[in-house]
């Protein structure tokens, strides 16, 4: 079985901040150094109707018109980018569900976005948009695993809002190393704060406490690399720790026979850690997904 990974050149804005720039670097790395079992594919862009299943329609219209969003300085290129990368998440969800296997998208900038506003370099919450698409396709239980360095308060707020509208099949497990965008834990969205010393142990405990995992229809995995000590995260979280984290996630999902759709999340270059270094961290997610599902 191959792992389709969705990417369009429209995802990336040349010279843009890592959130809208790094996908092209990750894609180049995957093409230059292919991974057995990984198949890069073109997604369909999201439509305004897709996004409005989760976000306020007036807000969606303002983003599409170029009036709102985290990167409006890029003009129409940003609108094309955010619709393409959101569509990539939906395409990965559809592929994982249809094969009961694994799929990915080189999309990022997702989990801080709220119902009617952008936040934290995130314009649309592709995690919840993807989860809502899964529910529309018949999934009864969708688990969002968020291992970005920062908490996914936007995701938690959207899950709660959908629950008020009668959509109760989406939940989140969130392990972070920063309190940015923290939220009170609930029965459907649990936020753990770890550090470099107990990071893997916290993830192991969080996965172990997921109730009845065999009843999950889809896992959406937000694979943040900003937990890495050189990419914005906590001291002690090295490349080997990141690799073990990815191995744990995909092994846990495979053991429970769960389809997985994964996406990129945070991971930022600096003077001593280049965008290519960040891309190599993201490559680990593709490698470990292919090892478990390929």
pLDDT tens string 199-237? 999 999 999 999 999 999 999 999 999 999 999 999 999
pLDDT of 86 higher than 90:
yes
25 — pLDDT class (breaks 50, 70, 90): very high
Q: Rounded to the nearest 10 degrees, what angle do helices 239-255 and 275-293 cross at?
A: 30
The mean of the pLDDT values for the chain is: 97
Helix ranges (H only) for the chain are 18-32, 48-51, 57-64, 76-99, 126-136, 153-164, 199-208, 239-255, 275-293
Please name the residue that has the structure tokens 């744990």.
248
The whole-number pLDDT of residue 48 equals 97
- What pLDDT does 242 receive? 98
Residue 240, domain extent = 3-293
Burial (CB count within 10 angstroms: exposed 0-12, middle 13-18, buried 19+), residue 31:
exposed
The reported pTM is 0.97
- Return the percentage of the chain with pLDDT > 90, whole number: 95
57 pLDDT above the threshold of 90: yes
Is residue 14's pLDDT more than 90? no
Q: What pLDDT, on a 0 to 100 scale, did the predictor assign at position 65?
A: 94
Helix ranges, 33-75 (H): 48-51, 57-64
Encode pLDDT of 99-156 as tens digits.
999 999 999 999 999 999 999 999 999 999 999 999 999 999 999 999 999 999 999 9
CA 202 to chain centre: 19
8 Å CB contact between 143 and 173:
yes
pLDDT grade, residue 1 (50/70/90)? confident
Q: How far is 237 from 191, CA to CA, in rounded Å?
A: 19
User: In this predicted structure, what is the pLDDT of residue 15?
Assistant: 86
Summarize pLDDT for 252-275 with one digit per residue, the tens: 999 999 999 999 999 999 999 999
Residue 11 confidence (pLDDT) above 90? yes
Provide the percentage of residues in the chain whose pLDDT is more than 70. Answer: 100
More confident residue, 160 or 14: 160
Position 190 confidence tier, pLDDT thresholds 50, 70, 90: very high
Q: How high is the pLDDT of residue 243?
A: 98
Q: How many domains does the chain have?
A: 1
The domain spanning residue 166 has which CATH number? Answer: 3.40.800.20
């Amino acid at each position: 079985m191959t792992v389709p990974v969705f990417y369009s050149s429209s995802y990336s804005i040349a010279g843009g901040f890592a959130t809208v720039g790094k996908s092209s670097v990750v894609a180049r790395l995957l093409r230059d150094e292919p991974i057995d079992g990984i198949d890069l594919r073109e997604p369909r862009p999201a439509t305004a109707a897709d996004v409005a299943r989760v976000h306020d329609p007036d807000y969606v219209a303002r983003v599409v018109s170029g009036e709102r969003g985290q990167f409006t300085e890029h003009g129409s290129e940003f609108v094309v980018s955010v619709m393409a990368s959101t569509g990539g998440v939906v395409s990965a969800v559809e592929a994982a569900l249809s094969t009961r296997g694994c799929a990915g998208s080189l999309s990022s900038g997702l989990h801080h976005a709220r119902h009617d506003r952008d936040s934290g370099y995130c314009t649309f919450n592709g995690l919840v948009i993807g989860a809502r698409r899964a529910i529309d396709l018949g999934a009864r239980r969708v688990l969002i695993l968020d291992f970005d360095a920062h908490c996914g308060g936007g995701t938690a707020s959207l899950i709660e809002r959908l629950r008020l509208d009668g959509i109760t099949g989406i939940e989140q497990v969130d392990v972070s190393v920063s309190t940015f965008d923290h939220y009170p834990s609930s029965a459907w969205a649990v936020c753990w704060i770890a550090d470099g010393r107990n990071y893997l142990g916290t993830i192991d405990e969080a996965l172990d406490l997921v109730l009845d995992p065999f009843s999950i229809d889809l896992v959406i995995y937000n694979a943040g690399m900003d937990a890495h000590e050189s990419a914005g995260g906590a001291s002690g979280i090295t490349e080997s720790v990141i690799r073990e984290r990815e191995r744990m996630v995909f092994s846990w999902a495979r053991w429970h026979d769960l389809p997985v759709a994964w996406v990129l999340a945070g991971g930022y270059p600096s003077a001593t850690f280049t965008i290519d270094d960040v891309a190599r961290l993201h490559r680990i997610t593709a490698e470990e997904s292919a090892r478990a599902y390929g």
